[in-house]
Amino acid sequence: MSKYLGIINKEEFLKWETKAQIDFLVAKKLYQLDDKVPVSFNENKMFGDLGKKKLILNINPEVIEEFYQYILKKYDHLISNGFVSFFRDFNNSVYGKEKEDQRAISLENFNEIFKQVNPTQYDILKRKKGVGLVEQVENMNRFEKLYHTRHVTMINLCPMPIAMATFYGEEAFFDSATFTNLDFFKDMIDFEIALKILVNINDQYHFEDDLYFGEKRELKKMFEKYQYIFDSLDVFIFTHKKIQSFRDKIPAHITSLFDALEQMKLIKSKKTAFMTYVNDEYGKGITSMKFYEKGRSMERDKRVESFTQELSKYAVK
């Protein structure tokens, strides 16, 4: 249930004058007053007329996010039904086929679904200049596009009448056909079904780097806490997955992993910071990491060599 559901007494609120209503909504941080300045162009220059500045009442982004999650949870069954229905047919279409054929079918489905939910206004290109006329032009990451599209979908789902129905506690309205027949509700359900399908196809076949909806999103947040330790997000993810995979001789494996990271110059901190990270995130209770000269322990040398080979793809060329 949304924490904003029923926080306003509708009968009392409607008795107030418009200014008092606005002041209340702003004081409760449900809405905010933002400046809007008219802009004009003259001789290729842009001008803002501060003398004609107006205040615009905009809904608080936190309210939009909270309401969207409320509706997502309430209608999760619709999204799940669409998702399961797609994968039932998809699994039948790839059954028994070679890996390359499965990937081709998956990519065709991925591209087709993406086209259905990708608004052309978000077709942003990234350009990287080289030497002379050489220049790389890259499309924006597709999951970054979907992230922005979802933000627009969230805003569209919560115009002021819908927001006020939430504040008044009219929960029955959100269960009614009146609400579920609204175009922006249908668009939201269609988008979320497509998004879930795309995330899961990509999780299996790795067409695009997903830093917005998949596992990498959470790992990226964790990395931001420890980026002073690791050379890159990819190195952090490798380390995270390796530590989670250790089942025996855990301190020895972690020490060897650190030694490999240090040897490959993929870590920026000393052992103490690395131990703090390991203990805080994984509860390993490591109090020290012994130093071994090469040749003193064949078992240790084999571990370091194995980790070094795996890490070589992250080393700076």
- How many other C-beta atoms are found inside a 10 Å radius of the C-beta of residue 177? 7
Give me the pLDDT at residue 122, please: 58
pLDDT at 81: 97
pLDDT at 45: 47
DSSP 26-37: HHTTSEEEEEE-
Going residue by residue through the chain, which has 317 residues, state the pLDDT in tens, using 9 for 90 and above: 678 999 999 999 999 999 999 999 999 999 998 876 555 555 444 444 545 556 788 899 999 999 999 999 999 999 999 999 999 999 999 999 999 999 999 999 999 999 998 766 556 677 777 778 888 888 888 999 999 999 999 999 999 999 999 999 999 999 999 999 999 999 999 999 999 999 999 999 999 989 899 788 888 889 999 989 998 999 999 999 999 998 888 888 888 999 899 888 998 888 888 888 988 888 877 777 776 667 667 888 899 899 999 999 887 65
pLDDT at 129: 79
- Partner residues linked to 59 by β-bridges: 31
Q: What is the pTM of this model?
A: 0.76
The Cα 126–Cα 111 span in angstroms is 20
Strand-pairing partners, residue 128, are 136
In the prediction, which pLDDT does 15 show? 94
Tally Cβ neighbours within 10 Å of residue 47.
Answer: 11
Phi, psi at 16, each rounded to 5°? -80, 155
Which pLDDT value is given to residue 23? Answer: 92
